[in-house]
Chain A
Amino acid sequence: MTGAAEFVLEVRDVRTRFGSAVVHDGVSLAVRRGEIFAIAGASGCGKSTLLREILLLHRPDAGSIRLLGREVAGLGEEEALALRRRCGVMFERGALFGALTVAENVGVPLREQTRLGDALIGRIAALKIALAGLPPEAGALRPSELSGGMRKRAALARAIALDPEILFLDEPTAGLDPLAAAGFDDLVRKLKALLGPTVVVVTHDLDLLWRVADRVAFLADGRVVGAGTMEELSRSAHPVVREYFVGPRGRGAMEQSWRRK
């Protein structure tokens, strides 16, 4: 495979403004096929907006976004649909459809995008539910009957329903207790090993950054202020990045990751 195609996602010089507030002032990053890439940064630095732009849910004011080799801006409905089919998204608050059971939620992408029979769809949905770490009984429940952690797992099961090439996770561990969050780290690694997608994680969870991310891009002041492995970044001189490593929580997460090695 050629060098250019190795990048499944390329964001170049993206600029976004909401009224007079500048969110992105020239954001550039590139994600290689098969890696777990994290976009980190403080709350309100435009991480989620960037994700929405990558997913064609919001149009940047300037710049280019290439997803799976296609320029995202100016795609027609058909092409956008074809591109979205190859992506799985887990939203921050799950965004499960409240009127459907968990199994039906996981089956929605399968029903919409394929013409498989009900029995096979049910089987695949049950598989993904198990893969996301939910008990089989959870399939028959409604999202409103699930706990927060289970809801995240159900959302993940729906995101991987079609074996996406790129899996986007928006704050996958937000709102989870540390144990459940650690469980989620392992889950992401396991999925990565089994299904082999490229994973793009938007997060400010330090443990997640240390434990699962191959490379990390730090967003601050509307641009990427540091990109690389966590080890590389720990030597960065940028004040925002340093804050992540020398702050009390940052140091704790770093020491933990050393101990684990």
Chain B
Amino acid sequence: MSAGIPSRDPPPGAGPDVELAGGEARCSGSWTAVQLHRVERRLAGIAWPAAAEVVVDCSTVEALDTAGAALLQATAEELERRGRRVTLRLRPEHQALLEMVRSPAPAGEGPAPGPPGPLAAVGRRALTALDEFLAMLAFVGRSATAGARSLAQPGRIRWRSVLHDVQAAGFDALPIVGLLSFLLGLVIAYQGSGPLARYGANTFVADLVGLAMLRELAPLITAIVVAGRSGSAWAAQIGTMKVTEEIDALRTVGIDPLELLVLPKLLALVVALPLLTVFSDSLGVLGGMVMSRSELGLRFEDFLDRFVQAVRLSDYLVGVGKAPVFAAVIALVGCHQGFQVSGDAESVGRRTTVSVVQSIFAIVVVDAAFSVVFSWLGI
């Protein structure tokens, strides 16, 4: 059985070699992939004799593999292109290998498309952005119709998933949201205390912390943390399910992936994010109180006295009211990016990153839009 198959144990030390002697190129040693780079370079720089016929004598080559044969063939082709006739002298057992290297005619290297010019690149990016935007709109539309269908039949809503997501995206985020809000309150009070103390307006630090946290910063920081924590996780989860064809499997057994995967997350976050925002409000104000006492000597009672006068109910509701909108943005962007995954692992990673970047961007844009609307309405 094993007879006739050349053993290709690499003989140590017998690296491949080629030298010109009397108009002939004499190849020797073992022409196998691992050491082949030596002769590859030698062959590229060799000064071939000017004669019309070149003889390449490989009868002393001890071992030949595909890489070696390919190199011989490439060299021969290069010489033939320059108008020489090439005669390869091979050992009989290497003949078949060279035959194989020769047979699949051209090494099918389709011309690699060059990088597009700058103008084309701009155009392509614009078109991609437009496509993405339209796809996102379509996704929002489909989610809305699926949501409407579920609301018509509340029995179809997957309450277990909703509760699970409330815990994962809401409850489990309490420590990080709390800590960040507390520090934020601390920092605002600290930055404000200097100028306020100079004007003798110590108690107004409650206005500063209260309005900044409740109206803007608490909803924003909560939404950003949740986008980084849960939006990305959902994008990766749905993306991986897409790669393993679980999404397709769901469709074939008659389950709408939107209904199973997107709606519970959306619903859960719309509930959880306002609650998290309230938590963030309290911790932020607490941070402000602690810093006011240590920096300005303002007692908690005095701070809270001023706080009640400075902050109206509408300020609190404006902040908390933005949270459900942010929640929808995070859930929809995260899930949409998950569904956009195509094929491979790299795509999952890219889409996960994009989901975080896009949702934070969208949150800030939406927040700005809210500010404009509220200033029109005079709230």
Interface residues of A (CB under 8 A from B): 1, 6, 32-35, 85, 98-99, 110, 113-117, 119-120, 122-124, 126-131, 136-137, 139-140, 142-145, 162-163, 165, 193-196, 214
Contact = CB atoms under 8 A, between A and B. Distances in A.
Interface stretch (B32-40, B156-164, B220-228, B230-238): B32-40
A140 B107 CA distance: 13
B97 interface: yes
Interface in B328-358: 342-347
B96 A194 contact: yes
B67 interface: yes
A183 to B, nearest CB: 17
Nearest to B10: A86
Interface of B: 1-2, 5-9, 32-34, 36-37, 40, 65-67, 70-71, 74, 96-97, 100-101, 104, 106-110, 342-347
A115 B97 contact: no
Contacts of A162: 33, 65, 67
A127 B65 CA distance: 12
Contacts, number: 108
A122 B7 contact: no
A145 B342 CA distance: 10
Q: Which of B40, B65, B67, B343 lies at the interface centre, i.e. has the most chain A CB atoms within 10 A of its CB?
A: B67
Contacts of A6: 2
B66 A128 contact: yes
Contacts of A85: 34
A105 B346 CA distance: 15
Nearest to B65: A163
A114 B36 contact: yes
Contact of A165 (B1, B8, B71): B8
12 contacts: A1-B7, A35-B2, A99-B345, A114-B34, A116-B33, A117-B40, A120-B40, A131-B104, A136-B104, A136-B110, A162-B65, A196-B6
Contacts of B109: 122-123, 126, 139
Nearest to B103: A130
B2 A122 contact: no
Nearest to B77: A123
B14 to A, nearest CB: 17
Contact of B108 (A1, A99, A139, A214): A139
B108 A136 contact: yes
A34 B107 contact: no
Contacts of B346: 98-99
A99 B180 CA distance: 37
Interchain residue pairs A-B with the least CB separation, the first 8:
A98-B344, A136-B108, A144-B343, A34-B2, A115-B37, A130-B104, A163-B65, A196-B5
Given A162-B33, A214-B1, A123 B70 contact: yes
A143 B342 CA distance: 11
B97 A127 contact: no
A34 B5 contact: yes
B37 A116 contact: yes
A163 B344 contact: no
Given A6-B2, A144-B342, A163 B33 contact: yes
Nearest to A119: B74
B100 to A, nearest CB: 5
A81 to B, nearest CB: 12
Contacts of A113: 33-34
Q: Which of A1, A99, A116, A122 lies at the interface centre, i.e. has the most chain B CB atoms within 10 A of its CB?
A: A116
B62 to A, nearest CB: 15
Nearest to B64: A163
Nearest to B344: A98
Contacts of B36: 114, 116
Q: Which of B1, B36, B66, B101 lies at the interface centre, i.e. has the most chain A CB atoms within 10 A of its CB?
A: B66
A99 B347 CA distance: 8
Contact of A195 (B66, B107, B344): B66
B37 A114 contact: yes
A110 B342 contact: no
B104 A127 contact: yes
Q: Which of A136, A165, A214 lies at the interface centre, i.e. has the most chain B CB atoms within 10 A of its CB?
A: A136
A124 B108 contact: no
Contact of B33 (A34, A114, A142, A165): A114
Contacts of B100: 127, 131, 194
B74 to A, nearest CB: 6
B70 A127 contact: yes
Given A114-B37, A196-B5, A137 B108 contact: yes
B1 A126 contact: no
B107 A122 contact: yes
A228 to B, nearest CB: 14
A144 B33 contact: no
A163 B108 contact: no
Nearest to A32: B2
